[in-house]
Structure 1
Amino acid sequence: MSVPILDASAWREFRGKPANSGINQTTHMAKVADTQGKLRDCFVKLLPTDTPALLCEAIGWLLARKSDVACPAFGAILLVPVEELRKCTPLPPEFNGMTLCPAWCSEVVAGKTVKQIHSMAYFVAKKNCLRSKDARKIAAFDQWGDLRDRNFGNVIASSKGGYVAIDHETLLHDLLWIPAGRNYLEWSLLKEAQSTLDAAGIKKFQVDMANAAKGHAKALVDAAADLAAIVAQLQPGNAAALSQSIHQTLDARSQPDWLSNKLGVIA
């Protein structure tokens, strides 16, 4: 399976809290051993399975890799030893009495989120991001996957160049989150482009999105077996039906011209 599931022994060392941890109070940095025993510097956030968040993170990372969207090189589902983590940092009360908790783990990407670039430089940084090919690929990917929370806090300006997407927690919003009682307002790079770029720039952004979407159908075919395996691991009680629903949703949104029709452009 492309998304490994690591036991508690893989969580090796607490390495502190990130400067911008978002709303999840459990997010931390840790040394994590991958399936080959290689130690990796990772962001880790606890995601109990009473919400779709962990499944969405795993599917999002897998699909991003298959569709050539820049994302962390390593991602995994990790069983975190809660009491060991509690020795290092306070945890919310809902984790009291819990021995192990599943978490999403992804390798640290060298660089800063676009949001971390302050003052007047932030406006320039936003425009530079939106003008990049990476931003258009990410925006198209988010439309395909019905992801509702892509903001400049989860797009990293890599120190190696380019932009990297992290945090796919709100993927498959209508299929998975609305039945779970959550309804997120859309926050996307497309909306950022529409409020930042001029008319010609917006049009070019949308055409590039539509062109990027042409690879989604093949990406879904390539990811199908791994996607089904992830669902079976995380939702064994209704794996077949859920896997079919996820595949049908993604397949419908990967059809030729689906995104171009939605955006009203010709690609």
Structure 2
Amino acid sequence: MSVPILNSSAWREFRGVPSSAGVNPTTHLANVADATGKLHSCYVKLLRPNTPALLCEAIGWALANPVGVPVTSFGAIILVPLDKLGNCMTLPQWTSGQSVCAAWCTEIVAGKSVRQVHKWAFWMARKRCLHSKDVRSIASFDVWTDNRDRNFGNVIRSPSGGYIAIDHETVLHDLLWLPTGTSYARRSLVDEARQHLSAGDLKQFNVELAGASGKHGSGLAAVQDALNQFIDGLYPHAAPALGKAVIEYLGLRSQAGWLANEIGVIA
């Protein structure tokens, strides 16, 4: 999936803050116009320009759908006009002196995160989540892309019963985050499965993860040109070396048997 890069005119109207905004204090709701002028109700979060967060969000969203991971139908990089946003909410000090700030926006989807389920029913929601084929595809995707922060707060259960992955900010952790001096402790669905599934269910979980990895190579090939295009648009001084490094990193991890070996499954 190609990732559009929208200018500040695409940010049309502030619509409030979400009830559960997460750790980023700039996350807000806004109407965003796509390249055709169609309006989307979106979550928007500003991302620091000196980190790989924006690139990681875009790469994760672009890669997900071609490998069978459900994500939002609309996602984009957008330049948010800080004068308008600053009239609606308090902005962090690091935005001072800027007229616009690059942000990641993604369409709001119906449903709640698994973590939002009431505590008394959370154990049941967690178990149902870990048995879902959608979630096993998401877990396989996270191992492949080296995503360090897939918790139950960024897995949305839709009204139809399926699951949607949101928030890919920490993908390519060792490739892109470690060189900046930032390291994230791993929170993963694989670890949750090891803690909460029976031995038999865990074995099936891992077998399905390994099976889902068969789509990773073809999915990467399908979006490789799009990845290089927006990497060039975001970081023209670092491309094409950066694009090459990303493709090679993901390509190595999509080779037959790599993921099975990583999670300890005999292929």
TM class by smaller structure? over 0.9
Runs of 4+ in structure 1 over 6 Å off: none
Tell me how far apart the structure 2 counterparts of residues 38 and 240 of structure 1 sit (CA, whole Å).
32
C-alpha displacement at 1:22, in angstroms? 1.0
**What CA deviation, in whole Å up to 9, does each residue of 1:57-89 have, x standing for no partner?**
000000002212000100000000011001111
C-alpha displacement at 1:117, in angstroms? 0.5
Q: In structure 1, what is the equivalent of residue 191 of structure 2?
A: 191
**What CA deviation, in whole Å up to 9, does each residue of 1:23-71 have, x standing for no partner?**
1110001011111111111000001321000000000000002212000
Aligned residue pairs, count: 267
Q: In structure 2, what is the equivalent of residue 232 of structure 1?
A: 232
Segments of 5+ residues of structure 1 without an aligned counterpart are none
Tell me how far apart the structure 1 counterparts of residues 165 and 32 of structure 2 sit (CA, whole Å).
21
Q: TM-score, normalised by structure 1?
A: 0.98
**What CA deviation, in whole Å up to 9, does each residue of 1:181-212 have, x standing for no partner?**
11111100000111111111111110000000
Residues 8-27 of structure 1 correspond to what in structure 2 (within 5 A)? Answer: 8-27=8-27
Tell me how far apart the structure 1 counterparts of residues 237 and 51 of structure 2 sit (CA, whole Å).
15
Tell me how far apart the structure 1 counterparts of residues 172 and 113 of structure 2 sit (CA, whole Å).
23
Matched, 1:104 2:104: yes
Q: In structure 2, what is the equivalent of residue 136 of structure 1?
A: 136
Give % identity: 54
Tell me how far apart the structure 2 counterparts of residues 178 and 224 of structure 1 sit (CA, whole Å).
23
Q: In structure 1, what is the equivalent of residue 256 of structure 2?
A: 256
Counterpart residue type for residue 226 of structure 1: A
Per the alignment, in what secondary structure is the counterpart of residue 54 of structure 1? helix
Worse-matched range after superposition: 229-238 or 145-154: 229-238
Q: TM-score, normalised by structure 2?
A: 0.98
Q: In structure 1, what is the equivalent of residue 203 of structure 2?
A: 203
Say what the alpha-carbon RMSD is for the aligned residues: 1.0
Per the alignment, in what secondary structure is the counterpart of residue 262 of structure 2? helix
Per the alignment, in what secondary structure is the counterpart of residue 239 of structure 1? coil
**What CA deviation, in whole Å up to 9, does each residue of 1:76-119 have, x standing for no partner?**
00000011001111111111221100000000010000011012
1:59/1:227 contact within 8 Å kept = yes
